[in-house]
Structure 1
Amino acid sequence: MGVSTASPAGPEGPEGPDKAVAVVTVDFPPVNALPVRGWYALADAVRAAGRDPDVRCVVLAAEGRGFNAGVDIKELLRDPGHASLIGANRGCAEAFAAVYECEVPVVAAVGGHCLGGGIGLAGNADAIVASDDATFGLPELDRGALGAATHLARLVPQHLMRALYYTSRTATAAELHAHGSVWKVVPRARLLAEALCLAREIARKDGTLLRLAKAAINGIDPVDVRRSYRFEQGFTFEANLSGVADRVRAGFGDDTRDQEGGRP
């Protein structure tokens, strides 16, 4: 359980490890709802992979039922104060920024649910390969929180983003593919292989040029995603201080659907 980094091919493979591609895998059963330490571990792993001079592309993947179910709400509920909330806010901000600021392109391999913080990760990736059972959404209002509209707006048009945000509904991988934000939709069994295929195509480019290209593309982005997301988080904290967040989260139960945002 945790976050691991590896080359896509082991030393027993016919050509040995593929050192130009690093696979960062998240594994926090049962649904990949990350505790505070998980967000920081993910940020550290992505940044370390991007700093490796041999790496030219990073694949962000996940084990288990879904890509990411966001923050571990139960960790917040166990904390009588605000330490866990502050930790989750800062940890999410660091993980999302690590993906966006990674020195090389990041391909997100999204299977199953991609909710809450998962949108922050996928929305900040350079490309997304998704399984045909993947769903994307922000159930934040159902969880007594706000945030990651910054990243959902990178995946769907503005008015659709607002409707999805206000209703806590999800969009399918096919819908996102139609909007151009998902590169390819494939069967779940082919997800990692297709993400690696794209990553290897990217990694065939000159490493120095790729790093320059990543910095240049980030530099012309119309939205400062780190500052925009931190602005959103201020309203999350306001909701907590006012007591409305606690009131909404009080209904958060043990049903697995709660951890997955309640929107299958």
Structure 2
Amino acid sequence: MTVTSELRPDGIRVVTMNAPPVNALTVQGWFDVAAALDEASADMATKVVVLRAEGKGFNAGVDIKEMQNTTGFEALLGANRGCFAAFKAVYECSVPVVAAVNGFCVGGGVGLVGNADIVVASEDAYFGVPEVNQGALGAATHMARLVPQHMMRTLYFTARTIPAKDLVQFGSVLEVVPREDLLDAALKVAGEIAAKNTKVIRAAKEALNGIDPIDVNKSYRWEQGFTFELNLMGVSDELRDDFAGTTKAGGAQ
């Protein structure tokens, strides 16, 4: 199963992504993440969510191979809609979302984490938006919530990555811990939130979203429009074919 959700007795709901080998989610996987967060919102017994992953890394973005092995634009449209739904569900979750990031967090992973409320990371965690390498645009909206504007542009245009420890100075990552301590660190801060009055916390989440200077849903949708243009020009398909060939040969994602 790609996504599981477990509500603990203390009101902490742990949502886990597990899509071997690298947590590159299929179209259905993105919608499954959205469904898990929507379930958390609707369940008054849920006081806070911890979003985490099993395996090598937190998230490697969309499943490029699924996209390239699907005729027409069905997988492309599905991935765009699925990512939009998942990112939106994290942001609009009625309770705070704590992202526990291990290993790589790239592309769509940044979309999830950038829309989370609190981020803790393992010592080996790093973030990146390599969209330009695959002829797509997206997640700049969310990377801009993790790093300052000029750093975001540098990471975006170069497809470089940035280690989690460097994000602590910006305040976007709360703390960096050994990987074996990551879940405990996430549960610790989640436990502090769960101890508060749930009605107050839910009201606080809505209030904080209401004073955000940028509408993340509209901003991300704007980015997606350029992805569609690049696909119509044929640029994206060529780059994705090159990427899929590279990953097949070298095993990297």
Q: TM-score range by the shorter chain?
A: over 0.9
* Residue of structure 2 in register with 1:243 after alignment: 234
RMSD of aligned alpha carbons: 0.8
* Residue of structure 1 in register with 2:31 after alignment: 40
* Residue of structure 2 in register with 1:150 after alignment: 141
List aligned pairs for 1:224-239, cutoff 5 A.
224-239=215-230
Counterpart-to-counterpart distance in 2, 1:41 and 1:70: 14
Superimposed CA distance per residue, residues 186-210 of structure 1 (whole angstroms, 9 cap, x where no aligned partner) = 0000001100000000111100000
Q: Give the TM-score normalised by the residue count of structure 2.
A: 0.97
* Residue of structure 2 in register with 1:5 after alignment: 5
Structure 2 portions without partners, runs of 5+: none
Which letter does structure 2 place at the counterpart of 1:80?
A: T
* Residue of structure 2 in register with 1:88 after alignment: 79
Match of 2:180 among 181, 186, 189: 189
Q: 3-state SS of the aligned residue for 1:34?
A: coil
* Residue of structure 2 in register with 1:10 after alignment: none
Superimposed CA distance per residue, residues 62-86 of structure 1 (whole angstroms, 9 cap, x where no aligned partner) = 0100000000000110112001000
Q: Is the 8 A contact 2:90 2:112 kept in 1?
A: yes
List aligned pairs for 1:101-250, cutoff 5 A.
101-250=92-241
Q: Is the 8 A contact 2:10 2:194 kept in 1?
A: no
Structure 1 portions without partners, runs of 5+: 8-16, 260-264
Counterpart-to-counterpart distance in 2, 1:248 and 1:57: 39
Moved more, 244-253 or 185-194: 244-253
List aligned pairs for 1:17-96, cutoff 5 A.
17-96=8-87
**Higher percent of residues as helix:** 2
Counterpart-to-counterpart distance in 1, 2:238 and 2:65: 14
Counterpart-to-counterpart distance in 1, 2:107 and 2:251: 15
TM superposition shift of 1:19: 3.8
Counterpart-to-counterpart distance in 2, 1:82 and 1:61: 30
> Identity of aligned pairs, percent?
59
Q: 3-state SS of the aligned residue for 1:5?
A: strand
TM superposition shift of 1:166: 0.5
Q: Which runs of 4+ in 1 moved over 2 A?
A: none
